[in-house]
A and B are shown apart, each in its own frame.
Chain A
Amino acid sequence: MEATESLKKMANVVEAAVVMGTESNREMLREMGLLTGEGLTAGPNDIIIAVAAEKDVEHLLEAGRRIVVAGRRPSTRYRLEQALDMGVDIASISIPGKYVGDLASALLERGVNLFIFSDHVPLDVEVKLKRKAYERGLLVMGPEAGTSIVDGYGFGFANVVRRGPVGVVGSAGSGIQEVTTLLDAYGVGVSHALGVGGRDLSEPVGGLMTAEALRRLEKDPQTKVIALVAKHSDEKTVAKVLERAEIRKPLYLSLLGMGRTSVAGFKNIPTLHGLALALCGEVGGEAYERAVHSLEEEVGVLEKAVEKGGELGGFYCGGTLATETAFIWKSLGVEVSSNIGVQWVRRLSDGNRSEGATVVDYGSEDFTEGRPHPIIDPSLRNQRVVSELNSGRSGVVVMDLITGYGAPDNIVEKTVEQLARVRAGRLVVHVVGTPNDPQWGSLEMLGRLPAVRVSSNALAAAFAAASGLGDGKIISMVVDQLVVG
């Protein structure tokens, strides 16, 4: 991504991209008119340097080659053994998934706790690593851990939130970000937020690290109330973990994609906004009143802004937010097509093509092979938003914009620049962030877009549905059924 930006800044360049030659990247280049020449036959192990320029194309391609080669040169880095001799407590791992197993195993043997961002780690490797960690009393956050906040320090994608009494365990990265930022907005802080990876609560992994994280928060004196956020989880595994955890502190549960059922005696809260409200109520003080008041006010404003808009589209960098939107729309009787990998939606045959009301998670493995996570580079998602709205395939599009650590400092500028080409339809944006995030100051630029900004993903999904279906009452209905109560 840095190579692309460097190339774009050079004289005479109209458009440029430096990407791995994966199918999704080649599709992106095709849409940009940059898939020509050798790029047409490139494979996933090739790097494509594509430049459209007013003149000097060959010179610019050579510059691109030099930038790529220079970018591969390490700066001040150490060999693994040297680093381990320095006495590290925790490791942050973000190398391609197929190489994670050996490295992670070696680190566990040296007593190092792990945060593993990488995806594409084989499931059997994850199980082995977590069993090894469990036996040694170590914590493995991930693989596929998007977010953790440990003792106030953010790992992966994390927002700068205030410290406080709420401890979070989550197998849902953007879900952790949504809850912790909403709490921050209501004046409630977080002790720790431990992301355990998207598959931890699956049957084969058995919730090993969810159990370990819950145990640690139960013992932690700073943590007064605990929240468990999960998506795509196996209900029996969740129940087993909760039954064995012996949690005495108040515990609130949000299993995304599930309604108001109960698991092991705990009531499920179907939305992240609902979970934040419940946690505010538990913490006490003015937070709950403040949260409810701001919700009521916003619903009033949004109801007046509803206009009939057409087909629904949800295009996300945060996978948990995509799941939440799909669930809300499905609860309203909308048939949803998606790539989020659950039984209760129609599976999209091609993530790049909408089929009726469509929700796409651009952080899913089919879009991240050979390219950065969309929170780091949302270009592909942003281009989709523009083409959906301008072509009329979607009349109303809802999307997230995630700020904080791990997201580039210019994420807002870049997104606004890319979305400035929207000429039709209705765009609904939910920003996942806090005023202390490095990018917060740039958010006023969003005012340049023809977009409605909404304070939570659940409300954004409700507003989009109300606009798509032309019925303002839908917003209150979603709030009453899935957020409050």
Chain B
Amino acid sequence: MVLRVGKVLAVGLSIFAESLRRQGLDVVEVDWSPPVEVEKDLEDILDKLM
């Protein structure tokens, strides 16, 4: 077997998850959003506090 394609995890663009589903694949879509980017100043303050 070149590569097993049973269950597929999809993260990102919904058009790709949808097209995998249309092909009859079992797709598990993961909720993802970019990590909160803490401003450098705030990071410095937190460093001092902790």
Contact = CB atoms under 8 A, between A and B. Distances in A.
Interface of B: 1-13, 15-17, 19-20, 22-23, 25, 28-32, 34-35
Interface string A85-122: 01111111111100100010001000011000110000
A151 B3 contact: yes
A154 B9 CA distance: 14
A86 B7 CA distance: 8
22 contacts: A77-B30, A78-B29, A80-B32, A88-B6, A89-B3, A90-B5, A91-B10, A92-B12, A95-B11, A95-B34, A96-B34, A117-B12, A118-B12, A150-B2, A150-B5, A194-B3, A220-B1, A220-B2, A405-B19, A405-B23, A406-B15, A406-B19
Interface in A392-443: 405-406, 408, 438
Interface residues of A, number: 48
Most buried by A among B3, B4, B5: B3
Contacts of B25: 153
Nearest to A81: B30
Contact of A192 (B3, B6, B12, B28): B3
A463 interface: no
Interface in A153-197: 153-156, 167, 191-192, 194
B34 A99 contact: yes
Given A78-B29, A79-B30, A86-B28, A94 B5 contact: no
A216 interface: yes
Contact of A83 (B13, B20, B30): B30
Interface in A198-220: 216-217, 220
A372 B15 CA distance: 11
Contact of B9 (A92, A117, A217): A92
Contacts of A454: none
Contacts of B35: 99
Contacts of B22: 405, 438
A223 B35 CA distance: 42
A90 B12 contact: no
A312 B8 CA distance: 43
